[in-house]
Amino acid sequence: MDTWMVLGIDKTKDKSLIKDRYFDLLTKVNPEDNPEGFKILRAAYEKALEYAKNENIDEDNSDLEKWIEKVKTIYKSFSLRIDINEWNKLLNEDISFSLETKDVACEKLLQYLINNINIPCEVWRLIDSHFEINERKKELYEQFPKEYIDFIIDRIENNDIINYYLFKVEDNKDYDSWINLYFNTIQELNNNNIEVVKTYLEQLQSFNIYHPYFDLLQCRYHIALGDYTISKNIISNLLKNYPNDMAINYYAAELKWVEKNYKHAKELYEHCLDISPNNFNAKVGLADVLLELGELEKSKNIFIDLINIDPYYDYLRERVSYINSLLIAKLDNQLKTNPDNNKLKFKLAWCYYENFNYEKAINLVLKIKCNDKSEIIQKYDILGNSYFDMGSYDTALKYFHELLKNKKTKNNEIELISIYNKLGRIYSKLKRYDEALKFFDKVLNLMPNNIYYINCKCNTLIKLGKYEECLELSDIGIEVDKNDSLIYSFRAESLYNLGYLKEALDSANRCINLCPYISAPYIIKMKILLDNQENEEVLMVSNEANKYKINDSEIVLCKCEALIKLNRGEEAEDLIKNLLININDSNEENNEIKCKAFYLLSLNELNKDNFNFALELINEAISFNYKDLDSYYLRAYIYRCIFEYNLALNDYNFIINNNGNIAFSYYQCALIFKEIGKYRIAISYFNKVLEIDPDYPNAKEEIFKLQQKLNSYL
């Protein structure tokens, strides 16, 4: 077949011409009326496009090389490198926009920048907006070192450590070596390696490159030596020349802190926050200074705000606890002279609560005779939260409902949201999920785009088995915040339970990539692999979870199941026994774990044909969770192995009555009746299977065979 003869055009690399000609001919060659003619035309069209593409390879490569040369030119000239407009012009060129070359351009750019990383964060953000680095993170992990992609994402999401725009730019200077050495110097300063720092400072000076942060390094070096006079002079000059630089003001504040000049330090930290309102370290510094100045409540409020940003930073909680201990002593003294002051009592109660002295908080608040509605609200708030944190959910529920009655006005939506959320969480703790759902819906009606509350509702929907609703909501959650790890975890669990295993696996991996410290996605991943008999891979996932110190019983049990299936039962037994030793409390969750543990021990004995011991163990499993259908399936199978057919039938009937796999259970009952020679009953059960699933494997064949047997008896 001559491609160009079929198309009726001369040989060309013009894709537009090829496409136009194809669509013209398509009107004359209908696929339904002339399928063979359509096949020939389509084949010619695809070959022509392939030819055009191949013809363009050299040209495309040439254009790409020219484009990369421009990248290199921009990077090598420091003045161009820090000019956002130069990068913008570069990224707006056709080569980085064309669908055919965009991905290759991105790859080439990242290949070059892997060894040339010293560009401003705003440039990295521009590159991300064009090539979607963050969104394609998982894909890029396969092409580049993970550390490199993570570095880029960090640059995208954060601000520059060194202000590139403060360099005195001159041609033919080695800025990269200077910057790299600058960061090494910071590291050695942090490690207090003073002699190394001294050497590095001398080397930095030899480059003949000036940046004011070099003076900051010198300042920090002299502070480490205890020479505050030189440090003060350096900082003083820097503040005069760069009054609005964040880093300079921050280290000036730190110096005042070291000198215990808290008043001046406070001013400088406040100026830092004027420059960068969300700077975490400046807020910590200000809170510390306020504490030293005796402004306890202001300091405490800042620390509490910081805890909401980083709940895992222990220093913050230690500070709040320390401030509360000071406030408790102060308030106790004030109450001695003013024993009827309810305002002081409530402040003291909150201090007790925040320091986990719940009983003291409760006892104090219960004695308060409230004078107005605002005090009643405070009383219920403290009591509700205290009982909640103590795990007394029924009592907490009572007080939060009272709180709701008193606060239910149109003007306090934020407070209402807090109460609705707490009521939703309490009902979840009490496993009253339908009621929990109502309150999370109330929250989302007031704040529909809050990812935290979306996650709360998703979790509740999972508990209720409403997987389709959870899936729909998780998609909304991803639109709200595509980088929230929990939403992908709930999505993975929903997809898994709906049978969409590949999609579930993708969401589980996405969750792990975003936050590797959540256990749920590892469990989903392991279950999918177990379903696919990929037992070695299950062990690999378990090892991955162990790297992040994730201690979850379900992960251990999934690993044990894989080990048993790999005929490594002894290893599994040891793990299960250790797990059972560490479970002391008898509650629903622990009983489910014990049930699964004994189920696996039974399965392991069954593999060794120890039927009687396997039966003992599966009975133990059922004693911990009489609703666990998997255990009934296994016990029914064991009964069949030891010819206890009636007992096996009882278990299958239990499964049927509790909405287990009904078709499978009827099929197994049919096989039992077949084994014991009750063919007519067996046929009736096979027919029940076909009523549920007309295509159930082997059911029709079994009926035919049994019918033949019955006919032979006539």
Structure tokens at 670: 């049919």
What's the confidence (pLDDT) of residue 171?
74
Q: For residues 29 and 312, what is the distance between their CA atoms, to the nearest angstrom? A: 67
What's the confidence (pLDDT) of residue 56?
47
Region of poorest pLDDT, from 75-79, 581-585, 651-655? 581-585
Q: Quick one: pLDDT band at residue 619, thresholds 50, 70, 90?
A: very high
Longest dimension (CA), the chain: 115
Q: For residues 133 and 47, what is the distance between their CA atoms, to the nearest angstrom? A: 33
Region of poorest pLDDT, from 43-52, 74-83, 151-160, 657-666? 43-52
Q: In 320-469, which ranges are E strands?
A: none
Q: Is residue 57 scored above 50 in pLDDT?
A: no
The radius of gyration of the chain's CA atoms, rounded to the nearest angstrom, is 35
Q: Is residue 382 scored above 70 in pLDDT?
A: yes
What's the confidence (pLDDT) of residue 58?
47
Region of poorest pLDDT, from 171-175, 700-704, 709-713? 709-713
Q: What is the dihedral sign for C-alpha 618, 619, 623, 626?
A: positive
Do residues 584 and 615 make contact, with C-beta atoms less than 8 angstroms apart?
no
Task: Report which DSSP code applies to 359.
Answer: H
Task: Give a three-class secondary structure readout of 168-193.
Answer: CCCCCCCHHHHHHHHHHHHHHHHCCC
Region of poorest pLDDT, from 247-261, 397-411, 583-597? 397-411
Q: How far is CA 481 from CA 277, 297, 403, 425, 478, in A?
A: 23, 34, 32, 22, 5
Q: Is residue 143 scored above 50 in pLDDT?
A: yes
Do residues 200 and 185 make contact, with C-beta atoms less than 8 angstroms apart?
yes
Q: Is residue 21 scored above 70 in pLDDT?
A: yes
Q: For residues 488 and 496, what is the distance between their CA atoms, to the nearest angstrom? A: 12
Q: Is residue 247 scored above 70 in pLDDT?
A: yes
State pLDDT tens for residues 102-113.
888 898 899 999
Give the number of other CB atoms < 10 A from CB of residue 443.
23
What's the confidence (pLDDT) of residue 104?
86
The stretch 625-641 carries a mean pLDDT of 93
Q: Is residue 161 scored above 90 in pLDDT?
A: no
DSSP string, 193-239: -HHHHHHHHHHHHHTT---HHHHHHHHHHHHHHT-HHHHHHHHHHHH
Q: Please tell me whether the overall predicted TM-score, pTM, comes out greater than 0.95 for this model.
A: no
State pLDDT tens for residues 668-708.
999 999 999 999 999 999 999 999 999 999 999 998 988 88
Residue among 458, 495, 501 at smallest CA distance from 476:
458
Q: Is residue 383 scored above 90 in pLDDT?
A: yes
* Dihedrals phi, psi of 260, to nearest 5 degrees: 65, 25
Q: Reduced to 3 states, what is the DSSP secondary structure of residue 251?
A: helix
Region of poorest pLDDT, from 17-31, 127-141, 167-181, 371-385? 17-31
State pLDDT tens for residues 496-505.
999 999 999 9
State pLDDT tens for residues 281-298.
999 999 999 999 999 999
Residue among 247, 219, 250 at smallest CA distance from 232:
219
Mean pLDDT rounded to a whole number for the chain = 89
What's the confidence (pLDDT) of residue 709?
83
What's the confidence (pLDDT) of residue 610?
94
Who has greater pLDDT, 416 or 265?
265
State the amino acid at position 38 in one-letter form.
F
Q: Is residue 29 scored above 90 in pLDDT?
A: no
Do residues 378 and 387 make contact, with C-beta atoms less than 8 angstroms apart?
no
Do residues 485 and 518 make contact, with C-beta atoms less than 8 angstroms apart?
yes
Do residues 246 and 275 make contact, with C-beta atoms less than 8 angstroms apart?
yes
Q: Reduced to 3 states, what is the DSSP secondary structure of residue 134?
A: coil
Residue among 658, 657, 662, 670 at smallest CA distance from 699:
670
The stretch 387-416 carries a mean pLDDT of 85
Q: Is residue 140 scored above 50 in pLDDT?
A: yes
Q: Is residue 55 scored above 60 in pLDDT?
A: no
Question: Which pairs with CB-CB distance under 8 Å and at least 24 residues apart come from 152-161?
Answer: 152/110, 152/124, 152/127, 152/128, 155/121, 155/124, 155/125, 156/121, 156/124, 156/125, 156/128, 158/121, 159/121, 159/276, 160/120, 160/121
Do residues 353 and 386 make contact, with C-beta atoms less than 8 angstroms apart?
yes
Structure tokens at 602: 């039974």
What's the confidence (pLDDT) of residue 228?
85
Residue 58's contacts (CB-CB under 8 Å, 6 or more residues apart) are none
DSSP string, 650-708: HHHHHHHHTTS-HHHHHHHHHHHHHHTT-HHHHHHHHHHHHHH-TT-TTHHHHHHHHHH
Q: In 401-463, which ranges are E strands?
A: none
The stretch 41-55 carries a mean pLDDT of 70
Q: For residues 58 and 288, what is the distance between their CA atoms, to the nearest angstrom? A: 63
What's the confidence (pLDDT) of residue 714?
56
Give the number of other CB atoms < 10 A from CB of residue 102.
15
Q: Is residue 312 scored above 80 in pLDDT?
A: no
What's the confidence (pLDDT) of residue 59?
46
Q: Quick one: pLDDT band at residue 462, thresholds 50, 70, 90?
A: very high
State the amino acid at position 124 in one-letter form.
W
State pLDDT tens for residues 514-529.
888 899 999 999 999 9
Q: Is residue 379 scored above 90 in pLDDT?
A: yes
Structure tokens at 351: 């201090």
